[in-house]
A and B are shown apart, each in its own frame.
Chain A
Amino acid sequence: MIAQLLVLTNIVGLLLITPIIDGIERKIKARLQCRRGPPILQTWYDLLKLFRRPSIVTEEYSLPYIISPYIVFANIIFALALLPSITRVSLSFYGDIIVLTYLIASSSIFIAIGSISSGSVFATIGANREISIATLSKLLIALVLASFAILKGSLTLEKLFPIMPPYTISAILAIVLFAILAYIESYKLPFDIPEAEPEIIDGILVEYSGKSLGVLKYSMYLKRVLLFTMLIDLVLPRNLPPIISSLAYIVSLIFVSILFVTIETYFGRLRIDQALKFMKTLIPILLVVIVIAYFHI
């Protein structure tokens, strides 16, 4: 019972702080661009405003367009429950690593299906791009999770964290690769191709408004935090006292998001073929990592 409550605390806590994390990112980004930037709570204000508004739908939508934001949201919440975050407790069962991979992949797929069902040409192109990137990045994420599983000899997430010790080359490489993938997956520049504003007017998001846009945006922020959490879990030592571990988690969350947003400031957007080319070069590296992980190097 206590474990369930702690998992609930995790999720509620993350729901509360995720928009603040995004607010901090916006502030940092603005400062780096010589702007003053919005207040840190701005993302919360935006979301609350969107939740109050009705959703306007297109004339030729079909069902997935309406429900997919909520499916994506549910997916992400479930995935968050699988990872230890604010408290170091999580839902844990044999094979949850596979469930996590599935949840991350299905959230992308539902975003794409939802926007295709809106009937807009810009959304279709956005979805097309989303799927092109997702097919590669999900494969890469599956591979990187496989290398973690091999390193630790387990398919349960709880036994994976933290990945070190053992301090092997493969472990370090796998963490670095996961960090890169987390960066790509969180639609940071230069990889925000599916929602490129000047090219296809926010692509996948173009036909969403009001509540459904709010839910979709919220899930995207949560997905970002999910990936950051995973990255932190891989590194954060396990046997810290409860309060300190919560604090350490939140501090590292802010640190990772600031790091990522700082990198983002120095990039323009890649074209989709350039992005795919970059991601393809990661595949052989990952395969090598898996092999050396198997031999405990």
Chain B
Amino acid sequence: MPTSIYEVLELMRKYGRIEKIHKDTYIVEVKADKVKDICSILHWKLGGHFSVTVGSDERLINGYFAIYHVFLLDEQKISIIVHTKANPAVPKIPSITPIIPGANWHEREAHDFFGIVFENHPNLERLILPYDWPEKVYPLRKDVSIEELRFKILKPETVKAKAKPEEEYIVPIGPYHPALHEPEYFELYVEGERIVDAKYKGFHVHRGIEKVAEERLTINQIPFIAERICGICGYTHNVAYCQAVEYAANIDVPLRAKYIRSILLEIERIHSHLLWFGVLFHLLGFDTGFMMTWLVREKIMDLAEILTGNRKNYGMNLVGGVRRDINEGKIKLSLETLDHVEYKLRNILSKMLKLKEIMSRTKEIGLLSREEARKLSVVGPVARASGISTDVRKYHPYAAYGELEFKVPVYDAGDVYSRVLVRYDEIFESISMLKQLLKNIPKGDLMAENVEVPEYRKGLGLTEAPRGENIHLVITGRENKVYRWRPRAPSYNNVPSTLVMLKGENLADAPAIIASIDPCFSCTDHVVVVDVKRGTRRTLRLKEISRGRAR
């Protein structure tokens, strides 16, 4: 098989016109009938992985609907975007879900929002739009405005719940379950204590960020709304968006700004991983561990506050650079804090992970094999715990990561314990990276001088969020706006894998398994308020669920 970039590009050329859009990123325009072949080659033969499908209404630019399948080739360190056009009258494109099951949600989302039909998709039901959403209204199309959506099209309806007796007990987890304080809804079918089947319904909290950004916000306002996609790792979204626009506009960001971005990204990673450790310990009933890890995490939060002025939502980025500098005193203070944190964590965390209860409740539980992981195209620590070495920082370096030395921890067992170990190792890698960054930070400007953004250019922004790769596709628009912005959070790819992990496990292990992917439902639900399930499946109202009544 071809291994060099040149060979890969030669192979791609057989399928369609190839164009370099920016550094390490190529776009291949193919005819609809060749999409399946090229995607199958990219995902299964060239060792790349499917990352995101972006639908786009480009009737204003060239008269077509467009679909972009983005693949990341870790070995060649490039990204390839497969671009297909669809007829605006009857938008139809062959589905790639039969080949790459991980594309399921992505294609359904494009179907929901643009009305693009994916032929041979196994289950082209609504994913995000609520069931009472009117037919033939596609909210992200350019001919539908926010005002129309709010005041004309949407009329709230009340729906009666229909309860149907079931053989097994159904344990509803969510929308607000004390274990996971976020609006997610898992339906676990149990016999005794054993889970026989699991279903997930998400997207309860659609915020319409994409629509708002495309219609109302300017390019430099979006970084701030991007930061609010996630309450834990918002800065990675912020950076990913800025990078996408910078690549699209060919803006050269000063090195010092890149270093500052990397520093904050790593601080965010440590805080996120420590938060996750605390949650895991709490779920396993080990509250001492929860309190102690969060005590250490507090130091990291303080550090973020010292460097940016905020504990969360740093608000540091603009397209072209960063807004605040870091002086020598802060660097010295940061290094001291990091030493303290590292010492504390080596002492506390390593001992906690050796506790017998923690081991017995996490080892060989929630298994995800390498094959399943590849099929669902999971990312981040979940993939790394299933033996897939993938890390955007290493293979698609951005910000200052190209100049750092670090390892990518990979474990093969694919259980909850491996995911614990991956994150444990990553914390210390992050600390070592932070020390390198803080010691070597160069002098220089904070903002690029020329920040003109040309229209209708594409940019792909990648960051490695604590939960996995974050990917933002931006098509710049006219009048200082974006034409299309699609942020994809890592949990979007990881959540479907929990359904595989849950089957056959104990109910008592369910919270730990769900938490093991570090799900971030608010990231995933970037987009509607759903309170009911469709069709033959049982309907549950929020009121019922909150009472825990499910029979």
Contacts and interface: CB of A to CB of B under 8 A. Distances in A.
11 contacts: A34-B295, A59-B549, A129-B193, A197-B179, A199-B511, A206-B548, A265-B288, A271-B361, A272-B193, A273-B506, A274-B360
B549 A120 contact: yes
A189 B284 CA distance: 10
Task: Output the residue of B287, B295, B508, B551 with the most chain A CB within 10 A.
Answer: B508
Query: How many B residues touch the partner, as a band?
Result: 35 or more
Given A33-B292, A198-B179, A201-B178, A269 B357 contact: yes
A190 B291 contact: no
A268 B358 contact: yes
Interface string A46-73: 0000000000001110000000000000
Interface string A89-126: 00000000000000000000000000000011111110
Contacts of A120: 547-549
Contact of A198 (B282, B355, B547, B549): B282
A-B residue pairs, 6 tightest by C-beta: A269-B285, A268-B286, A198-B179, A268-B357, A33-B291, A268-B284
Contacts of B192: 128
Given A121-B169, A266-B288, A201 B508 contact: no
Q: Which of A192, A199, A266 is most buried by chain B, counting CB atoms within 10 A of its CB?
A: A199
B548 A121 contact: yes
Nearest to A202: B178
Contacts of B357: 190, 267-270
A34 B291 contact: yes
A34 B290 CA distance: 11
B171 A121 contact: yes
Interface in B517-551: 547-551
A140 B95 CA distance: 61
A85 B352 CA distance: 39
B170 interface: yes
A193 B550 CA distance: 21
User: In the complex, which of the residues B178, B511, B549, B551 has the most CB atoms of chain A within 10 Å of its own CB atom?
Assistant: B549
Given A32-B288, A266-B355, A269-B357, 16 more contacts: A34-B295, A119-B549, A121-B170, A121-B548, A121-B550, A122-B548, A125-B190, A189-B285, A192-B285, A201-B179, A206-B548, A267-B286, A268-B285, A268-B357, A269-B286, A273-B193
A60 B170 CA distance: 17
B226 to A, nearest CB: 31
B508 A199 contact: yes
A271 B365 CA distance: 12
Quick one: which of A193, A268, A274 has the most chain B CB within 10 A? A268
Interface in A177-227: 189-190, 192-193, 196-201, 206-207
A198 B510 CA distance: 10
B171 A125 contact: yes
Contacts of A129: 193
Nearest to B291: A33
A121 B288 contact: no
Contacts of B506: 271-273
Nearest to B506: A271
A143 to B, nearest CB: 26
Contacts of B286: 189, 267-269
A176 B95 CA distance: 66
A189 B357 CA distance: 11
A103 to B, nearest CB: 28
Nearest to A32: B288
Nearest to A122: B548
A58, A270, A271 — which one has the most chain B CB atoms within 10 A of its CB? A271
Contacts of B550: 121
B398 interface: no
B509 interface: yes
A128 B550 CA distance: 16
A222 to B, nearest CB: 23
A198 B507 contact: no
A34 B284 contact: no
Nearest to B179: A198
B177 interface: yes
B277 interface: no
Nearest to B357: A268
B231 to A, nearest CB: 20
B281 interface: yes
